[in-house]
Amino acid sequence: MSRRSDLHPDVEAMLTALEAGFPDVTEHDPRELREIIVSRRAPLTRQPDMATARDLTIDGPGGDLALRVFVPHRDSDDADRSGGLPVVVFAHGGGFVFCDLDSHDEFCRSMAAEVGAVVVAVDYRLAPEHRAPAAMEDVYRALCWTSENISGFGGDPHRIALAGDSAGGNLAATTSLAARDRNGPKVCAQVLLYPVIDDDFDTASYRDYGVGYYNTTKAMRWYWEQYAPQGRHSALVIPTSADTLAGLPPAVVATAELDPPCSAGEEYARLLEAAGVPVIAHRFDGLFHGFLTFPQLSLTPPAREKVWQMIRDVLAATPADDDVRSAP
């Protein structure tokens, strides 16, 4: 295996460490895989500090559904406003198979603090025990709950975005479609971070970066087989299967150059734009799948700030709840 010779030294070192330390997902039972990944996880720091970080359980389509609600500290300018903070319903990555509220706790806290938003993280059902579209249905249920209840946490029910990284990006995209087609809660934005859009393994980025860059084509095939061994024609599983993308919420699409799903993410951004959806798209050159959840990587903090700014920009385009109430 050989990599590009022009990678940043810190990226090269991180990729080498990940290649050596991350298990080959295809060689493990999913339950065993989850245990391995949790055992290698750093202790939960619960940083940055939140005004509120509350775990709660709601009724989900498959039983109890766990959420974690992050409310950031408000500065003096925010405190003077009568309206609530914007809200992000967040679906974590993990190939639809692993990760949970704890794996993305720091990321959600940082998003809440830097964007100035209430973040509702969703502990959706995992594959293969729960096949597609179970995870999407859980995120949709969380969206509905958030629309009805988030004002009690200081959130603005008129400014709810859906967001997710990797497999969670797929869930944010498909839940946006479900909300549109079901006349569900209005979604003000969809934030797709190196999203897993489809199961086309013959794109340019799969050909160029399918081996040796942490996330592999072999692993991506396995993830799809766990989540959706059949029925991938549905727009609730692969968003490009939708009859139309018109009428979807404005999108932030952030991709990573060294990521096999990169080409599909960029193509989805183009399809959204062609359907008349406002899109803020950015490719992080020289970076790999999952980099946003590695804050120890030197290139991650400035990349995160770019992502936070894109999210702030798309949320700013939606009027606050007090503006909505005062509209004629």
User: Residues near 309 by Cβ (< 8 Å), separated by ≥ 6?
Assistant: none
CB 135 within 8 Å of CB 99: no
CB 250 within 8 Å of CB 314: yes
> Which letter, b or e, does each residue of 152-190 get, where b requires 16 or more Cβ atoms within 10 Å of its Cβ?
ebbbbbbbbbbbbbbbbbbbbbbbbbbbbeeeebebbbb
Question: Exposed, middle or buried, 110 (CB in 10 Å: 0-12/13-18/19+)?
Answer: buried
Q: Which of 103, 110, 147, 166 is catalytic?
A: 166
Decide if 166 is catalytic: yes
Q: What tokens does 94 get?
A: 């993990």
DSSP 302: H
CB 224 within 8 Å of CB 198: no
Residues with catalytic roles = 166
